[in-house]
Chains A and B, each alone.
Chain A
Amino acid sequence: MRSEPSIEELFEAISNYFVDIRTIVESKNSDNKIADFILILREPKNISELDLKEITTYIDEKIIPILNGYQRFYAFVAKNSLKIALRQMYLIDNYDELEKIRLKKILNVDGSLEFLNKELCKRIKNKEIKRNDPKLKDHLIRSTMAKISIDQPNYSGYLKALEDQYPSD
């Protein structure tokens, strides 16, 4: 199950942030990189892993040291969002595939991942599937573990789940 906002939306938000800080960054750095990055982030389909790594390094080396207050805080948020995007690009296809296999088995129907998740939600809501169903529980654990491993892998609740060896893909 894909988290929201999408990585395209995260790229858009980072590019908006870069527009806000562009004048300050260009006044302190002699390169024109930030203008290039704004263009790259606005074409999400063409973004490569290498681009994301380059932008992350630039935030670390050229942006964080020159900013204060909330603009500096947003630099950390932007960096974290780029890391989420990188993890998603690496991991999501495999997670999606395994999630779909499980959902098809539980629901006995076929369709897109979005459709299958909506169908599962409908059946939980209508009590057509019991909350203590072992297959349902296993699925919820695995898909949630997958999601948080992309979104917040340092979160205490996830670290505890790893320590307690929850099933995961």
Chain B
Amino acid sequence: MENLKNNLFPIIKDFFPEITSIDKLIRLSGGSSNESWKISIKHPNGIKNIVFRRTPDGNEKDEENNNFVGITNEAKIMDVAKSYNVPVPKIYKVIDDKNLGKGFFMEFIEGETLGTRIVNNDEFKSIRPKLAKVCGEIIAHIHSIPTDKFTNIRTSDANEEVLKYEEVYRNHNQRIPIFEYTIDWLKDNTPKKINNKLIHGDFRNGNLIVSKDKCVSAVLDWEIFHLGDPYEDLSWICVNSWRFNKINLPVGGFGYREDMYKAYEMISGNKVDSDRAKFWEILGTLKWGIMCLNMIEIYRSGYDKSIDRASIGRRSSETEIDLIRKLVI
């Protein structure tokens, strides 16, 4: 930890010359995806908090995974999104440092990110009914970013997403009849191609900073943004696993689809097709189930031997019952 502080200090001094020392360093998240640290900086007038985000342990190997855009692009998309009215933390500096690896520093934004607190805590009671509308607006702003702002990022439409996750599933040794049933349904019901948009790719309750005064203060975790079908973002947030047991409030466990769609239509000028949205919600449910199976493989590989990683495999059953409710009943 002291070593990390020593390495961070001169880099922070570059963009924040008033720094006198690093007071605290707290790991916010981590694992196989990028890790985030909250840094409390002492300066003559008090304390300032910032966030440092980097590849796991400063390593680069995860960037080889074809879903991740690379941490430099992650900082770049956040910078671009800000200029298209998407609430995101301000980026201070992007680094490629021999001691710290690749990463970036950004603004620390106060608020709540834990989905279960957002859907349950009294402090958010008054803003919960507004959140679906705000999400619709934000998604429309994300989709307004010109797709030519980035080169060399992956494109994945409905058909490609189905095939990609089918492949991940088939590489796993377990055969799950309801997944097989869903893949068959998805292939028979794949919607026609529409114009690609720039997609966040993981827009859901849990990746939003929610605060009482600003509703959604920031959208986080841009590490899998790509070009694709805009319904991917509109439907992923409705997957039941992100409703935190508030099954009757489809948008993130806090709101209704109609409110989100209306706000999206107002800003984007595009009418939402509910059948297309249903397809993407079913695909999203299957994707999360397959991702849960994949966690078991990550555990078995020895890359992460934590109890958390192993036990997530047992959450695949959640998506299986949701698929039964959506397709079989």
Contacts and interface: CB of A to CB of B under 8 A. Distances in A.
Interface of A: 1, 3-5, 9-10, 12-14, 16-17, 73-74, 77-78, 80-81, 84, 117-118, 120-121, 124-125, 127, 131, 136-137, 139-141, 143-145, 147-148, 150-152, 154-161, 164, 166
Contacts of B180: 120-121, 124-125
B318 interface: yes
B316 interface: yes
A80 B311 contact: yes
A36 to B, nearest CB: 19
B175 A157 contact: no
B243 A156 contact: yes
Contacts of A84: 311, 314
Contacts of A161: 321, 324-325
Contacts of B246: 156
20 contacts: A1-B177, A3-B316, A4-B293, A9-B299, A10-B314, A12-B310, A13-B307, A16-B305, A74-B306, A77-B308, A81-B311, A84-B311, A84-B314, A131-B181, A141-B328, A148-B321, A151-B314, A152-B317, A155-B317, A160-B325
Contact of A140 (B306, B315, B317, B324): B324
Contacts, number: 138
Contact of A144 (B178, B185, B293, B305): B178
A141 B329 contact: yes
Contacts of A148: 317-318, 320-321
Contacts of B65: none
Interface in B284-318: 293, 296, 299-300, 305-311, 313-318
B56 to A, nearest CB: 15
Nearest to A103: B177
B176 A1 contact: yes
Interface in B166-186: 174-178, 180-181, 183-185
Contact of A152 (B307, B318, B324): B318
A144 B328 CA distance: 11
Contact of B247 (A9, A118, A143, A156): A156
Contacts of B308: 73-74, 77
Nearest to A148: B317
A17 B177 contact: no
B322 interface: yes
A156 B299 CA distance: 27
A4 B313 CA distance: 6
B240 interface: yes
B177 A117 contact: yes
A4 B174 contact: yes
Contacts of A156: 240, 243, 245-247
Interface string B4-19: 0000000000000000
A157 B240 contact: yes
